[in-house]
Structure 1
Amino acid sequence: MYKLFYSPGAASLAVHAAIHESGAAHELVNVDLNVPRTDDYLRLNPQGTVPTLVIDGLAHRESAALLILLAERHPEANLAPAPGTPGRAEWLQWTVALATSLGGPFRLWFYPRDLGLEAHDENSRAPVRRTLEAGFERIASHLQAHGPYLLGERFSIADYQLCMYMRWSRAMPKPATEWPELDRLARLVSARPAWRNAVAMEGLRGWHLDSAEPVQ
């Protein structure tokens, strides 16, 4: 059984949805990111971040790495193209690229102290916003030519990863769903039972949790 340390809607969401997609038994432990981490948790994850996934007593970290690990451990679930098959390299490429081109900048968007600032103002957030919007623009262009999913007609858990980052943009001046291609992907992904199960268990509301629901 997996033990997933998560925080609702945080970087653990894609991993949580992927576990549901795999059908694997799992236990959830909610980590409150607004309070100092316990010593026990810091022994599992010295960074104090989520997700942490414990497998056979060993703790593993980093959302993108955990998605790759789950795809390897559950080939029967078709979470990603199998090693050596068409699309595998592209899937790995997207999994890493999303973590760097969106995950990194979002860290700066939400945590100004990483930039040495006590709080963001309009000027300090502007370059981070440009970076994120440029990232979404590139992905939208790809989807326009090769969608509806990142791998074309085939869903993979990289789409969960992208949808997680898109959700983080919902309060930005230009949310990711302003791009029609990204909005379409979000509606396809959020209709999947595994995504619905994960967001229900995390108590999340709004934002394409229903394919007929307006963006909030």
Structure 2
Amino acid sequence: MYKLYYYPLNASMAPHFILEELQTDFELILVDRKSDAHKKADYLALNPAGRIPTLVDGQQVVFESAAICMYLGEAHPAQALLPQVGTPQRAAFLQWMMYLTNTLQAELMVYFYPQRHCNDSSHISGIVAAQEERIANILALLDTQLKNQTFLTGEHLSVCDFYLFMLAVWADELKRPPLSFEYLGSYLRRLAKRESIIKVCKKENLSLVDYQ
């Protein structure tokens, strides 16, 4: 049985979505960020980066949310959440997965933690304003990508879609939130109807009212 070390609405959300989508057995283990449990010795023994999430699969331990998502997709090929190697869809998957984690997620981290990116607190408001614009441009690109297709990599659901939904949840309080974009918003509302996403949001206490 899988064990997912998680914290609600954290980067563990995408792996949580995927575990529910796979309809496989798993155990959720809360890592209390409020008490810095992710920085304590027992957790660091599993995940030396001291970040959430961590997945334990027997003797195999995997950390980094995107890596866990891909690991789970590969472990359950029948559900086809990863396109087959050598196909155009696989190339698109790799492209968008890297874009989500290395570009959108990275820019969101600067937006949420601007104090980590300056030595003068008077610069924080400027960083936040710049990030609002940068993230809006990223969301606009994703909106264009979704104009003529059902999912991010084409017509088949993939790990990318769950990862993007997680990041969209994080970005929902921006001046131009993901739901404000025509095609991206419609896509997110469709995903919000999936039983796996409904179950996870209920467990993690996230309302999906805005997605209805």
- Same structural fold, with TM-score higher than 0.5 when normalized by the shorter chain: yes
3-state SS of 1:11 partner: coil
Counterpart position of 1:131: 134
Conservation of the 8 A alpha-carbon contact between 2:20 and 2:196: yes
Conservation of the 8 A alpha-carbon contact between 1:148 and 1:181: no
Distance, in Å, in 1 between the alignment partners of 2:107 and 2:93 is 21
Distance, in Å, in 2 between the alignment partners of 1:65 and 1:176 is 24
Between 1:150-159 and 1:6-15, the stretch displaced more is 150-159
Q: How does 1:1-216 map to 2 (within 5 A)?
A: 1-37=1-37, 38-116=40-118, 121-144=124-147, 146-206=148-208, 208=210, 212=212
Structure 1 unaligned segments of length 5 or more: list them.
Answer: none
Letter in structure 1 aligned against 2:73: A
- CA deviations 1:73-106 (Å, max 9, x no partner) are 0001121212233411111211111001111111
Report the CA distance between 1:117 and its aligned residue: 5.2
Report the CA distance between 1:26 and its aligned residue: 0.4
3-state SS of 2:8 partner: coil
Report the CA distance between 1:196 and its aligned residue: 1.1
3-state SS of 2:100 partner: helix
Conservation of the 8 A alpha-carbon contact between 1:91 and 1:151: yes
Distance, in Å, in 1 between the alignment partners of 2:201 and 2:2 is 18
Report the CA distance between 1:207 and its aligned residue: 5.0
Conservation of the 8 A alpha-carbon contact between 2:115 and 2:124: no
Letter in structure 2 aligned against 1:170: D
Report the CA distance between 1:118 and its aligned residue: 7.9
Report the CA distance between 1:163 and its aligned residue: 0.9
Letter in structure 1 aligned against 2:31: V
Distance, in Å, in 1 between the alignment partners of 2:166 and 2:209 is 11
Report the CA distance between 1:128 and its aligned residue: 1.6
Task: State the aligned residue count.
Answer: 209
Structure 1 vs Structure 2 CA RMSD: 1.8
Q: Which runs of 4+ in 1 moved over 3 A?
A: 116-121
3-state SS of 2:205 partner: coil
Conservation of the 8 A alpha-carbon contact between 1:53 and 1:60: yes
Conservation of the 8 A alpha-carbon contact between 1:189 and 1:195: yes
Report the CA distance between 1:122 and its aligned residue: 2.5
Letter in structure 2 aligned against 1:64: A
Distance, in Å, in 2 between the alignment partners of 1:82 and 1:58 is 23
TM-score under structure 1 length normalisation: 0.89
Distance, in Å, in 2 between the alignment partners of 1:17 and 1:117 is 37
Report the CA distance between 1:182 and its aligned residue: 0.9
- CA deviations 1:42-82 (Å, max 9, x no partner) are 22122221111111133211111111111110001121212
Conservation of the 8 A alpha-carbon contact between 2:3 and 2:28: yes
Distance, in Å, in 2 between the alignment partners of 1:23 and 1:181 is 28
Distance, in Å, in 1 between the alignment partners of 2:156 and 2:120 is 43
Higher helix share: 2
Conservation of the 8 A alpha-carbon contact between 2:118 and 2:124: no
Distance, in Å, in 2 between the alignment partners of 1:173 and 1:86 is 35
Structure 2 unaligned segments of length 5 or more: list them.
Answer: none
